[in-house]
Amino acid sequence: MGLRIPNRSASDLELQAARSDQPVTAVSEAGRGRFYYLVPGGEVALGELLNIPTSHQLVGMVVTERGSIAPEGRNRFNPQSRLGPLPGPPLSC
């Protein structure tokens, strides 16, 4: 602030989406069977499984069974092996 450099915070969903080289939908559990989600070029939304668009693969911190958060594999997660680390300062020991 002293240098008058603008500071912009990023949401957890934006940080999750930044891990992928391709457009993805970031998701996070909101409790009671609901999820926060962020589609590319959109705003953060809150909804149930059927509200999450299927146009992109998913990234995020969600406890799942069989790699899918929806019945019949409606939404698929981008494999961890294809994602980069979370952006941020390096950790020191």
Q: Does the pTM exceed 0.85? A: no
Question: Which residues lie below 8 Å from residue 25, measured CB to CB, with a gap of 6+?
Answer: 17, 37, 38, 39, 40, 52, 53, 55, 56, 57, 58, 59, 75
Q: What share of the chain has pLDDT > 70, as a percent?
A: 68
What amino acid is encoded at 39 in this protein?
A: V
Q: How confident is the model at residue 71 (pLDDT cuts 50, 70, 90)?
A: very low
Phi and psi for 17 in degrees, rounded to 5? -65, -30
Domain boundaries, the chain: 12-75
Radius of gyration of the chain (CA): 15
Q: 3-34 pLDDT, tens per residue?
A: 777 666 668 899 888 889 999 999 988 888 88
* Residue 72: per-residue pLDDT: 47
> Tell me, what DSSP letter sits at residue 12?
H
